[in-house]
């Protein structure tokens, strides 16, 4: 999901970067959308994807800065059933090595909603490359050791099943 008031399918270079890397890694891109910098629109798209059984992961790009229209973390973090603080920490560590202290201008985050991983990335192709190449590619590969997200995907909704018996 690209979050932007100005991007179009023709100018969505960050979305293109992620789509290419997802395909190169052998994953299936189920959907792609450009939504405006609007909390309700971001939430609606994310919620729709999290109830789709063919979607395991949502990656957003854009809206993580500090300007008035940057609202992606505000839209998604309140929905997280579980926050993934380590994602932000590792993303900033990787980013710092490439762009130095400018990494503090990003509010990259991650979490889980409806047994779906959600990663909120900055809107630059470079940040998307760094996040995918340095974190997500390995974590979304079942062969990655010592552990990976794929191994725990079947158990993400255990809390929902406990009371069902």
E strand residue ranges, 1-143 = 2-3, 34-35, 57-61, 82-83, 109-113, 116-121
Query: In the prediction, which pLDDT does 73 show?
Result: 98
| Domain parsing of the chain, residue ranges | 2-157
Query: In the prediction, which pLDDT does 4 show?
Result: 96
Residues 154, 150: Cα–Cα separation, whole Å: 8
Is residue 10 predicted with pLDDT exceeding 70?
yes
- What digits encode the pLDDT tens for the residues 101-156? 999 999 999 999 999 999 999 999 999 999 999 999 999 999 999 999 999 998 88
- What digits encode the pLDDT tens for the residues 12-58? 999 999 999 999 999 999 999 999 999 999 999 999 999 999 999 99
Is residue 163 predicted with pLDDT exceeding 70?
no
Q: Would you tell me which CATH number, out of the four given (3.40.50.150, 3.40.50.80, 3.40.980.10, 3.10.20.90), belongs to the domain 2-157?
A: 3.40.980.10
C-alpha to C-alpha distances, 35 to 13, 71, 99, nearest whole angstrom = 15, 12, 27
Q: Assign residue 127 a region: left if phi > 0, alpha if psi is -120 to 50, beta otherwise?
A: alpha
Residues 13, 112: Cα–Cα separation, whole Å: 26
Residues 104, 34: Cα–Cα separation, whole Å: 25
What residues pair up with 59 in beta bridges, in sequence order?
119
Query: In the prediction, which pLDDT does 158 show?
Result: 80
C-alpha to C-alpha distances, 19 to 59, 62, 70, 160, nearest whole angstrom = 10, 15, 22, 31
pLDDT-based confidence at residue 99 (cuts at 50, 70, 90):
very high
């Amino acid at each position: 999901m690209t979050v932007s008031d100005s991007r179009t399918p023709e100018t969505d270079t960050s979305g293109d970067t992620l789509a290419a890397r997802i395909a190169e890694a052998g994953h299936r891109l189920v959907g792609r959308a450009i939504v405006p910098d609007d909390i309700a629109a971001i939430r609606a798209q994310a919620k729709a994807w999290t109830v789709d059984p063919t979607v395991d992961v949502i990656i957003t790009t854009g809206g993580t800065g500090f300007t008035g229209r940057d609202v992606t973390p505000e839209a998604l973090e309140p929905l997280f059933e579980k926050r993934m603080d380590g994602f932000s920490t590792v993303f900033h560590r990787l980013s710092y090595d490439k762009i130095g202290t400018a990494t503090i201008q990003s509010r990259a985050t991650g979490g889980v909603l409806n047994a779906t991983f959600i990663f909120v990335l900055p809107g630059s192709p470079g940040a998307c490359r760094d996040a995918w190449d340095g974190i997500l590619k390995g974590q979304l590969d079942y062969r990655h050791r010592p552990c990976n997200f794929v191994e725990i995907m079947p158990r993400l909704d255990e809390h929902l099943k406990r009371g069902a018996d």
